[in-house]
Amino acid sequence: MKKSFIFDAIRTPRGRGRNDGSLYEVGAARLSADLLNELKARNRLDPSEVEDVIWGNVTQVGEQGGCLARASALLSDLGETVPGLSINRFCASGLEAINLAANQIASGAGDCYIAGGVEMMSRVPMGSDGAAIAVDPSLAMERYFVPQGISADLIATMYGFSRRDCDAYAAESHRRASRAWSEGRFEDSVVAVRDRNGIEILGRDEAIRPETSEEALGELKPSFAVLGESMPGFDKVAMMKYPHVEKINHVHHAGNSSSIVDGAAAVLVGSGEFGERTGLKPRARIVATSKVGTEPTIMLTGPIPATKRALGKAGMDLGDIDLYEVNEAFASVVLRFVQEFEIEIEKMNVNGGAIAMGHPLGATGAMLLGTALDELERADKELALVTLCVAAGMGAATILERV
């Protein structure tokens, strides 16, 4: 088995995923191609070295359909000899792209991959690609399908996280993200999005609200109470799967859930030989990867078994990990992770997360890995674990080690 290394990791800033968001005017392939070009330029990459572009993307319809990975490669400076592979593991797509690349390198299938992902949520609405699991009664009824927000509220109910707990966590995410920006912690990795004239369109994550307070969040109305309690009544469906739960406590709202944003991230993954051959210096080694399937109604508990599985593969335990990035899909997902593993909150999501900066579905996994890597370097730590909950009851994780 060869070793797989991360040579570089960059991302775009995240724009609000609505028609008043700054990136709304930019196409998914354009945003992707510009990031590929930047990665190529920064590393003086010879396209003939690149085995594949593996690109995570969730809503693969319209401009994100038709193998966006290949479309993006063709729109970039990589040229026609670089193929592309669009993949979808929902929210972990960006991390899965890296894991796939790392594992292909380990197996000797290739030496150099560009992995990452993109999601233009302002242009291609979440859910517009359909989903048999939600719509086909054979699946939806047999598997007790509920939307993610209901699952997140179910986690909060079953594991005892109050509205206040979730709001406090959300406010902390904003505090940490704005501190990270004000201290310039993202500077080396965030690449401004520019138009074809070089004019900057967006240079910073625009969803962060530094002034966010627990009290202000306390004013927001729960987002999933109506869906759950009355129309069409998903709570009852969830309680059929979890019959000991009498009532679901609807604690999540727009302020303590990940925000909807646009964005892309790209990571250069390669073997040791690739580094030696090109003179590029590896920044970290991929130690272990994992993916798991879990119960799909509660849906979002995957990070726990995914973490255990990755640690097992690496022959490590929790004590070895210096830093955690746990995707802030919903506050309860992170709180549940902290509860299960008794993690010191100072070791986790230290520069904020998707609640503050946003969750561009297909890109987030790659963004989290980049953020973890930057923080390992900044804080001079060794080992980080990145994990995400995944729709339909899945989870994914990656352990990386500075080299």
Site for other proteins in 132-161 (CB under 8 A): 134-138, 140-141, 144-146
174 with 210: CB under 8 angstroms? yes
The reply on whether position 198 binds other proteins by CB under 8 A is: no
Q: Does 240 bind other proteins (CB under 8 A)?
A: yes
> What is the total count of residues that contact other proteins (CB under 8 A)?
26
Instruction: Give 86 or 157: the residue with its C-beta nearer to other proteins.
Output: 157
**261-271/15-16 β-pairing:** antiparallel
CB of 263 to other proteins, least distance (A): 24
Name the one range near other proteins by CB under 8 A: 31-39, 244-252, 267-275, 300-308. 244-252
Query: Residue 18: phi, psi to the nearest 5?
Result: -135, 180
Longest Cα–Cα distance of the chain, Å, equals: 62
Using rule CB under 8 A, residue 226 touches other proteins: no
Cα-trace Rg, the chain: 20
Binding to other proteins by residue 233, rule CB under 8 A?
A: yes
Active site annotation includes 389: yes
Work out how close the CB of 128 gets to other proteins at its nearest, in angstroms, rounded to a whole number.
Answer: 7
Q: Applying CB under 8 A, which part among 37-45, 129-137, 158-166, 192-200 lies near other proteins?
A: 129-137
Burial of 154 (0-12, 13-18, 19+ CB in 10 A): buried
Q: What are phi and psi of 279, to 5 degrees?
A: 80, 5
- Taking the complex as a whole, the smallest distance from the CB of residue 156 to other proteins amounts, in Å, to 17
Residue 359 annotated as catalytic:
yes
DSSP letter string, 247-305: -------TTTBPPPEEEEEEEEEEEHHHHHHHTPPP-EEEEEEEEEE--TTT---THHH
Q: Which of 184, 197, 221, 246 binds other proteins (CB under 8 A)?
A: 246
Among 201, 220, 226, 245, binds other proteins (CB under 8 A): 245
Output the CA torsion sign for 285, 106, 362, 143: negative
Residue 146 or residue 390: which is nearer to other proteins going by CB? 146
Q: Strand 383-390 relative to strand 200-202: parallel, antiparallel, unpaired?
A: unpaired
| Catalytic choice (91, 112, 250, 252) | 91
Determine whether 67 is an active site residue: no
Member of 232, 279, 315, 319 binding other proteins (CB under 8 A): 232
Tell whether residue 126 is a contact of other proteins (CB under 8 A). no
Report if residue 231 touches other proteins, rule: CB under 8 A. Answer: yes
Instruction: Give yes or no for residue 19 binding other proteins (CB under 8 A).
Output: no
From 174, 250, 252, 359, the catalytic residue: 359
Q: Whole-number minimum distance, CB 70 to other proteins, in Å?
A: 24
Residues with Cβ < 8 Å from 383, sequence gap 6 or more?
Answer: 287, 316, 320, 321, 322, 323, 376, 399, 400, 401, 402
The answer to whether the Cα torsion of 280, 284, 288, 293 is positive or negative is: negative
The answer to whether 189 and 11 have CB atoms below 8 angstroms apart is yes
Is 236 a binding residue for other proteins by CB under 8 A? The answer is yes
Query: For residue 289, what are the β-bridge partners?
Result: 398
Position 90 contacts other proteins (CB under 8 A): no
Q: Which residues bind other proteins (CB under 8 A)?
A: 127-128, 130, 134-138, 140-141, 144-146, 231-234, 236-237, 239-240, 243-247
Active-site residues, by number, are 91, 359, 389
